[in-house]
């Protein structure tokens, strides 16, 4: 038992809350889940980052590849015009990672400033100088 703000709480309860609220996180993504989004057909040996519309003009997904237990977290999403978005990913906040290569789907709402249905997405990583350019059509 641990004394928290004048009350006693079991350590197991605190750990459960930490697992539900503090570990991982979605960053600026609306949802993050393992695997590929419905409708995105990619070669499983091609681990190139990809993007697809989930609902044209409303929501989209970016698929990253890496450790299934430590996917990157989207840390920023900005509209760069009516047809361009910049998304930045940070390294996973998780400390113990599996040595596998798996897809992770990051779902986003399209910013109101982006009004076109053909959209360019510039994807960068906080720990790299590389930028990938993707197109939603």
What pLDDT does 41 receive? 87
Distance from chain centroid for Cα 102? 13
- Give me the mean pLDDT over the 54-76 stretch: 97
3-state SS assignment for residue 13: helix
Q: Which of 42-46, 67-71, 102-106 has the lowest mean pLDDT?
A: 42-46
* pLDDT mean across residues, the chain: 86
- For residue 13, pLDDT over 60 is answered with no
Extract the runs of DSSP E, i.e. beta strands, from the chain. 2-4, 7-9, 31-34, 50-55, 59-66, 73-81, 84-90, 102-109, 119-125, 131-136
pLDDT, one tens digit per residue, over 71-80 is: 999 999 999 9
pTM of the model: 0.81
% of the chain exceeding 90 in pLDDT: 76
| Per-residue pLDDT band at 42 (split at 50, 70, 90) | confident
pLDDT, one tens digit per residue, over 22-38 is: 344 678 999 999 999 99
% of the chain exceeding 70 in pLDDT: 82
Q: Is the dihedral of CA 87, 51, 67, 109 positive or negative?
A: positive
> In the chain, what are the domain boundaries?
25-136
Rounded distance between C-alpha atoms, residue 82 and residue 10, angstroms: 51
pLDDT, one tens digit per residue, over 102-126 is: 999 999 999 999 999 999 999 999 9
The tokens for 66 are 């890496």
């Amino acid at each position: 038992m641990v004394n928290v703000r004048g009350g006693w709480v079991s350590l197991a309860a605190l750990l459960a809350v930490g697992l539900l609220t503090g570990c991982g996180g979605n960053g600026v993504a609306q949802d993050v889940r393992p695997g590929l989004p419905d409708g995105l057909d990619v070669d499983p040996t091609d681990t190139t980052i990809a993007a697809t519309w989930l609902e044209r003009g409303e929501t989209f997904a970016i698929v990253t590849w890496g450790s299934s237990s430590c996917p990157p977290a989207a840390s920023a999403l900005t509209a760069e015009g009516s047809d361009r978005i910049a998304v930045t990913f940070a390294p996973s906040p998780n400390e113990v990672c599996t040595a596998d290569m798996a897809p992770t789907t990051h779902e986003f709402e399209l910013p109101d400033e982006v009004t076109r249905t053909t959209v360019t997405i510039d994807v960068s990583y906080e720990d790299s100088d590389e930028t990938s350019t993707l197109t939603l059509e």
